[in-house]
Copies of this chain bind each other. A is one copy, B any other.
């Protein structure tokens, strides 16, 4: 199941600190985006590669007013404005951008970087396969549990009550990731709380209190 928490485990900002990449970011330009501002829309002439420096951006598909979130990009993630997806700043965000053409020149100058790009693209591809798997073979409940488990396991810490994690996404945000309505996501979520799998400790703090049981729910056939 996709985490959608990070498109890749690789953090560009960390990687590019390596002295061998000195000068790599020289031609990148910085740009701030306000919360809610669109960074790129499909079909535009923009063809930039960008790295998220701070904030969070959302990559999503849209059709006739409906939306589906493919992933969130966090600091250190790299992506392109030249896809069929929309990208918007879901928090105030700072990006470093460079034209795709310039980026190709960069890769030629720093050939080791190409392996990183291949790995990242492979990671992203893997997570889109996960999304397709979830949509084709599973229901919204299964996808919600998959999302909670991956978010918890990637960001949480074990404590006496269970696996504690922070999640500042709204129910609407989660619904758009698992391909259902806010109402359905909310009712499925409350159901997990009511059945003791999940505890809400604060506005954005959750504890998976029955981790093994929650995992085993993924093995039960969807209705």
Cross-chain contact A84 with B126 (CB below 8 angstroms): yes
A44 to chain B, nearest CB (A): 15
Cross-chain contact A114 with B104 (CB below 8 angstroms): no
Q: Which of A86-124 contact B (CB under 8 A)?
A: 104, 107-108, 111-112, 114-115, 117-118, 121-122, 124
Given the known interface contacts A68-B137, A133-B84, A136-B179, the answer about A115 and B125 at a Cβ–Cβ threshold of 8 Å is no
Cross-chain contact A61 with B132 (CB below 8 angstroms): yes
Q: Which residue of B lies closest to A62 (CB)?
A: B137
Cross-chain contact B63 with A133 (CB below 8 angstroms): yes
Q: Is A139 an interface residue (CB 8 A)?
A: no
Q: Could you list 14 further interchain pairs (A-B, Cβ under 8 angstroms) beyond the known A108-B112, A108-B115? A: A61-B132, A68-B133, A70-B132, A84-B129, A84-B130, A84-B133, A108-B111, A114-B117, A121-B122, A125-B125, A128-B128, A132-B132, A132-B135, A136-B179
Given the known interface contacts A64-B221, A129-B61, A136-B68, the answer about A104 and B111 at a Cβ–Cβ threshold of 8 Å is no
**Complex formed: what's the CA distance from A117 to B118 in Å?**
7
Q: Give the number of copies in the complex.
A: 2
A43 to chain B, nearest CB (A): 13
| Residues of A in contact with B (beta carbons under 8 Å apart) | 61, 63-64, 66, 68, 70, 80, 83-85, 104, 107-108, 111-112, 114-115, 117-118, 121-122, 124-126, 128-133, 135-138, 179, 221
A64 to chain B, nearest CB (A): 7
**Complex formed: what's the CA distance from A94 to B121 in Å?**
26
